[in-house]
A and B are shown apart, each in its own frame.
Chain A
Amino acid sequence: MNQNDESLRWKLRGLRQDQPPKRDLWPDISARIAALPPRQAEEPVQRLSGVRRFAPWAMAASLVLTVGLAWQATRVAPQDPVIPREAASLTRDYQGALAQMQGAEAHPEFGVALQELDRSAAQIRAAIEHDPNATFLLERLRRTYAKRLALTQRAVMS
């Protein structure tokens, strides 16, 4: 484990910017994070209404991914590039969460956007393979996955 890896891990921890929801909003995801370290202190969620009431799902999904990210960052082998491995880990988390929600792609309002998000995620993963030191790409990937999960959840519930 070298100093660069250590410095990068602290930066990765800095990516944990999302706030967890006030209450348990997504039982399936909660089950998935049960095995992970405790989340950050909870903060109040603003009153939500209409379709925006689904925004907490995005936060919950984002939480799972970022917690998983930080967790993975503490368990890396020194000789491996950190960012590509974190990207792979993020992708596994994302695919696991999505596997529980079927049919969203067929939704007339969301289908095209979901495909766009998938294309974008693939594009970012390819970019990370070429530039494995670009921390900002990992954050782009995390944001893209968080949007994908949030929209999938909205589509499934509509």
Chain B
Amino acid sequence: MRAHSSSLMSTSLLFLSLLAALPAFAGTPINESRQLDARGRVEISNVKGRIQVRAWDKPEVKITGTLGDGVERLRVEGDSENLSVVVEYPQNNWGGGKAGPTDLQLMVPLRAELDISSVAADVDVEGVASGELSIDAVSGSVKAVGAPRSADINSVSGSLDLVLNSADVEAQTVSGDLKLRGRLNGDVSAETVSGGIEIAVNNERLRELSANTVSGSIRVNTGLAQRGEIRMETVSGDVLLILPKNLSAQVRGETFSGDLRATGVTIEKRRGPGASFQTRYGSGEGDVRIETFSGSAEVRLE
């Protein structure tokens, strides 16, 4: 009797441990591999679940993970230059309907170009050094860490958390927060509607920066290249622009009802509504302009 109980308990424990070992995405396992040129292009599309991409030093794409319940199939097609990996839903069910989430995990050549589309799937890309990195999501969040030459990353309500060593970056959301950090030295464009924008440039100087929002706040810490340009606009969001003390730029700020502050500058109120300032730091080679309606703006040199 005791032996029977012990056996039952062992079986139960084994069953429980097996349950615990199951991945969050139950469904059909995926295990596919395709050859891809070192600088080939991979298009990846998954409506919900997760898209995880990691890089390796092989001319090959390996796809693993699990296909969600109710998903029609994983379509993998193309050649060694262009590969397409698409999670397909029945009857052109773009929104995924009641199908379960698909967990898509890819290993791609280090320098492969990536074009990733998601609706509610979270996107997680790490280690790529492609020519171009392109990500488009709706409610899924995007996390990208890498060194693509240029990146174009959009979400609607999902947040963007980007750590990029890139020349050019374009990033947009509607309500999602946008965080961008890294060694950035070219043109950066960041735009949200209500999401906050936070940009921190490490040990580099931007050539051009455009940061715009309606009601989100903007915080930028960057160096500015010779004759570089910065444009920042908000309606009600606050702006904080931190630049190095050796900045060489003409700086102008204007607001209708917000407060303005700038290092070393006394802001004079106009006779009517609004305030503005114009000043020169260093020899004034660059050009910085900030405009808000009711948001406050500060230019800080440190």
Contact = CB atoms under 8 A, between A and B. Distances in A.
Interface of A: 49-52, 107-110, 112-113, 116-117, 119-120, 123-124, 127, 130-131, 134, 136-137, 139-140, 143-144, 147, 151, 154, 157-158
Interface stretch (B16-24, B55-63, B115-123): B115-123
A123 B236 CA distance: 9
Given A51-B45, A136-B233, A158-B94, A127 B175 contact: no
A130 B84 CA distance: 51
Interface string B108-147: 0000000101111000000000000010101100000000
Contacts of A134: 256, 291, 293
B193 A116 contact: yes
25 contacts: A49-B43, A51-B119, A107-B95, A109-B95, A109-B119, A109-B138, A109-B157, A110-B138, A112-B157, A113-B175, A116-B193, A117-B193, A120-B214, A120-B215, A120-B235, A123-B214, A124-B214, A124-B235, A127-B293, A127-B294, A130-B257, A131-B273, A134-B256, A134-B293, A140-B235
In this complex, the interface size class of chain B, counting residues with CB under 8 Å from chain A, is 35 or more
The A contact surface, by secondary structure, is helix
Given A120-B215, A123-B235, A127-B294, A51 B256 contact: no
A146 to B, nearest CB: 11
Contacts of A120: 193-194, 214-215, 235
Contacts of A123: 214-215, 235-236
Interface in B19-67: 43, 45
Contact of B120 (A50, A109, A119, A136): A109
A131 B156 contact: no
B191 interface: yes
B296 interface: no
A137 B291 CA distance: 9
B248 interface: no
A131 B274 contact: yes
A52 B139 CA distance: 14
Nearest to B120: A109
B218 interface: no
B256 A116 contact: no
A52 to B, nearest CB: 5
B174 interface: yes
Contact of B235 (A50, A117, A137): A137
Contacts of A51: 45, 94, 117-119, 136, 138
Interface in B52-106: 84, 86, 94-95
B156 A151 contact: yes
B143 to A, nearest CB: 19
A49 B291 CA distance: 36
A97 B117 CA distance: 26
Contacts of A50: 43, 45, 86, 115, 117, 136
Contacts of A136: 233, 291
